[in-house]
C-alpha cells in the first residue's frame, strides 16, 4: 500500500532583519518511509546543506521534516522545495507574503467662502495599504514647507477580504499671506511605502469592424504599470461616453514581472462609426501620473476616405487644432508627391540633353577627321 505525502512549507518567526533565515518542509501521511528533500532558488540554483530528520511513524503512515538555511535575498525571490517519493514528486514555493497595496480615497475639506482666508484645511485618506505612508500638502505643485501648524492623526485599521486597510487624517493651518499671494488652494498628496509607482504606456489600437454584428470596437492597450490600481475611461468629442449608446469593457489585469497590463474596449454600432466624424479618446488615470491632470489620453477619428487615423494627442492640444493637423498632414503628403514627380521630369530632361550633346560632338569630330589632308592621301 502506497500513500502520497501532503507537503507544507515552514518559515521561521522573528528575526526579520537577519541576512539569513531557516526554511523547512513538512511532509505527512505518506508510505513507504523513503523520502527525499531538495531546494533551489528562483534561478534554479540548488541549495546545499539541508538537514533531513528521520521519518516518524504514526499508525501506518509517516511524517518527516527537512530544514535549510538560506539567504534572505534568495527567500525574497521565492525558494522552491521538492519532496521526492515513490508515488511522485511535489513542489512547494516558500517566500514572503505579498504585500497588499491599495491606494487611498482622498477627501479635502476647505474653508467656506466667507472663511476662505482663515487657512484651515483637512485631508482624509481612507482605506489604504500598507500602513506606512506620508502625507504632503502642496500648493501649485510645490510642497508647503512653512505651515503655521499641521496635525496628523494616528492610523486606524479595519479588516477586509484582502487584508487590513488603514485610514488617517491631516489638518493644516497656513497663513493668510500664503493663500492670497499665490493663486490656487492647497492639495493633499499621500505616498505609500513599499512600492515605487511606474508610469503606464498607452496605445490606441486600430478599430475592428465586426460586419456580421454591425459593431465596431476600439481597444486601448495600457501596459507596464504599477501599482495595479488603474482606471480606463472613454470620451467622445471630449465628453464622457454615454452608456446608453456605448458598451464599455475592461479586461482582467495581467501581471508580468511585477508590472501590470490591461485592455479597455469601447463598442458601438457600425452605422454610428461610419456616419460620425467624432473624436474617440481613451483616458487613463493612474497614481504614477503626478501632474495636475493625472491622465494619459490617446485619440482616434474616422475619416471619410474609408480608413481611420490613429494619433497620439497631447491632452493640452486644443480641439480646433485637430482638424488642422489632419488637413495639414494630407496637404504635406500631396506636396511631397508633386515634388517627387517634378524632380523625375527634370532628371529625365537633363539625361536626354546630355545624350543629344554627346552624339553631336561625336558627329563633328568624325567629319573633321574625314576632311583632314591625311584622309585625302589615303
Q: Is 100 inside any structural domain?
A: no
What pLDDT band is residue 321 in, cutting at 50, 70 and 90?
very low
Residue 215 shares a structural domain with residue 293: yes
Residue 155 shares a structural domain with residue 254: no
Residue 125 shares a structural domain with residue 57: no
The CA distances from residue 269 to 215, 221, 299, in Å, are 4, 21, 18
Residue 88 shares a structural domain with residue 110: no
**Average pLDDT in the chain:** 77
Q: How far is residue 149 CA from its own chain's centroid?
A: 38
Residue 70 shares a structural domain with residue 116: no
Q: Is 15 inside any structural domain?
A: yes
What pLDDT band is residue 369 in, cutting at 50, 70 and 90?
low
Q: Other C-beta atoms within 10 Å of 284: how many? A: 23
Domain boundary among 312, 328, 344: 312
Report pLDDT digits (tens) over 259-311: 899 999 999 999 888 887 888 999 888 877 754 345 666 666 664 434 444 44
Residue 24: exposed, middle, or buried by beta-carbon count in 10 A (0-12, 13-18, 19+)?
buried
Report pLDDT digits (tens) over 350-365: 666 666 666 666 555 6
What does the pLDDT read at residue 146?
Answer: 77
Higher pLDDT, 93 or 301: 93
Cβ–Cβ < 8 Å for 297, 283: yes
Domain boundary among 44, 75, 94: 94
Q: Is 337 inside any structural domain?
A: no
Residue 79 shares a structural domain with residue 138: no
Q: Is 362 inside any structural domain?
A: no
Residue 50 shares a structural domain with residue 74: yes
Residue 185 shares a structural domain with residue 205: no
Residue 186 shares a structural domain with residue 240: no
Assign 3-class secondary structure to the chain. CCECCEEEEEECCCCCCCCEEEEEEEEEEEECCCCEEEEECCCCCEECCCEECCCEEECCEEEEEEEEEEEHHHHHCCEEEEEEECCEEEEEEECCCCCCCECCEEEEECCCHHHCCCCEEEEEEEEEECCCEEEEEEECCEECCCCCEEEECCCEEEEECCEEEEEEEEEEECCHHHHHHCCCCEEEEEEECCCCCECCEEEEEEEEEECCCCEEEEEEEEEEEECCCCEEEEEECCEECCCCCCEEEECCCEEECCEEEEEEEEEEEHHHHHHCCCEEEEEEECCCCCCCCCEEEEEEEECCCCCEEEECCCCCCCHHHHHHHHHHHHHHHHHHHHHHHHHHHHHHHHHHHHHHHHHHHHHHHHHHHHHCHHHHHC
Residue 253 shares a structural domain with residue 278: yes
Higher pLDDT, 331 or 90: 90
What pLDDT band is residue 229 in, cutting at 50, 70 and 90?
confident
Minimum mean pLDDT among 140-144, 182-186, 189-193, 246-250: which range? 182-186
Residue 196 has pLDDT above 80, yes or no: no
Cell numbers describing residue 259: 508590472
Domain boundary among 67, 94, 121: 94
What does the pLDDT read at residue 371?
Answer: 57
What does the pLDDT read at residue 211?
Answer: 86
Q: Is 90 inside any structural domain?
A: yes
* Percentage of residues of the chain with pLDDT beyond 90: 25
What does the pLDDT read at residue 336?
Answer: 42
Q: Is 303 inside any structural domain?
A: yes
What does the pLDDT read at residue 335?
Answer: 44
Q: Is 50 inside any structural domain?
A: yes
The number of distinct structural domains making up the chain is 3
Query: CATH number of the domain that 134 lies in?
Result: 2.60.40.10
In angstroms, how far is the first alpha carbon of the chain from the final one? 122
Residue 206 shares a structural domain with residue 293: yes
Residue 21: φ, ψ to 5°: -150, 165
From 326, 219, 230, 213, select the one nearest 266 (Cα to Cα): 219
Q: How far is residue 222 CA from its own chain's centroid?
A: 6
Residue 11 shares a structural domain with residue 85: yes
- For 208, the domain range is 201-312
Q: Is 1 inside any structural domain?
A: no
Amino acid at each position: 500500500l502506497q500513500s502520497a505525502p501532503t507537503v507544507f512549507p515552514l518559515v521561521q518567526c522573528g528575526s526579520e532583519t537577519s541576512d539569513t533565515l531557516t526554511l523547512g518542509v513538512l511532509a505527512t501521511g505518506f508510505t513507504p518511509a523513503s523520502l527525499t528533500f531538495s531546494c533551489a532558488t528562483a534561478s534554479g540554483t540548488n541549495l546545499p546543506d539541508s538537514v533531513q530528520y528521520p521519518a516518524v511513524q504514526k499508525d501506518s503512515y509517516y511524517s518527516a521534516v527537512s530544514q535549510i538555511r538560506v539567504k534572505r535575498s534568495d527567500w525574497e525571490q521565492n525558494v522552491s522545495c521538492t519532496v521526492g517519493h515513490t508515488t511522485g514528486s511535489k513542489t512547494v514555493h516558500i517566500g514572503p507574503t505579498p504585500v497588499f497595496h491599495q491606494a487611498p480615497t482622498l477627501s479635502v475639506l476647505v474653508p467656506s467662502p466667507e472663511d476662505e482666508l482663515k487657512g484651515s484645511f483637512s485631508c482624509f485618506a481612507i482605506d489604504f495599504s500598507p500602513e506606512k505612508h506620508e502625507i504632503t500638502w502642496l500648493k501649485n505643485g510645490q510642497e508647503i514647507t512653512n505651515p503655521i501648524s499641521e496635525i496628523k492623526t494616528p492610523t486606524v485599521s479595519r479588516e477586509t477580504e484582502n487584508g487590513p486597510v488603514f485610514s488617517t487624517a491631516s489638518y493644516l493651518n497656513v497663513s493668510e499671506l500664503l493663500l492670497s499671494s499665490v493663486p490656487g488652494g492647497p492639495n493633499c498628496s499621500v505616498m505609500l511605502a513599499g512600492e515605487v509607482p511606474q508610469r503606464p504606456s498607452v496605445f490606441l489600437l486600430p478599430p475592428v469592424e465586426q460586419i456580421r454584428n454591425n459593431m465596431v470596437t476600439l481597444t486601448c492597450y495600457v501596459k507596464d504599470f504599477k501599482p495595479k490600481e488603474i482606471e480606463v475611461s472613454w470620451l467622445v468629442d471630449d465628453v464622457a461616453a454615454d452608456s446608453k449608446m456605448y458598451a464599455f469593457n475592461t479586461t482582467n489585469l495581467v501581471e508580468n514581472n511585477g508590472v501590470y497590463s490591461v485592455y479597455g474596449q469601447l463598442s458601438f454600432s457600425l452605422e454610428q462609426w461610419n456616419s460620425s466624424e467624432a473624436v474617440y479618446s481613451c483616458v487613463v488615470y493612474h497614481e504614477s501620473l503626478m501632474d495636475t491632470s493625472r491622465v494619459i489620453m490617446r485619440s482616434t477619428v474616422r475619416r471619410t476616405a474609408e480608413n481611420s487615423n490613429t494619433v497620439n494627442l497631447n491632452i493640452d492640444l486644443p480641439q480646433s487644432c485637430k482638424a488642422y493637423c489632419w488637413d495639414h498632414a494630407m496637404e504635406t503628403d500631396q506636396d511631397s508627391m508633386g515634388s517627387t514627380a517634378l524632380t523625375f521630369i527634370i532628371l529625365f530632361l537633363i539625361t536626354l540633353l546630355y545624350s543629344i550633346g554627346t552624339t553631336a560632338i561625336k558627329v563633328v569630330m568624325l567629319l573633321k577627321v574625314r576632311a583632314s589632308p591625311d584622309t585625302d592621301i589615303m
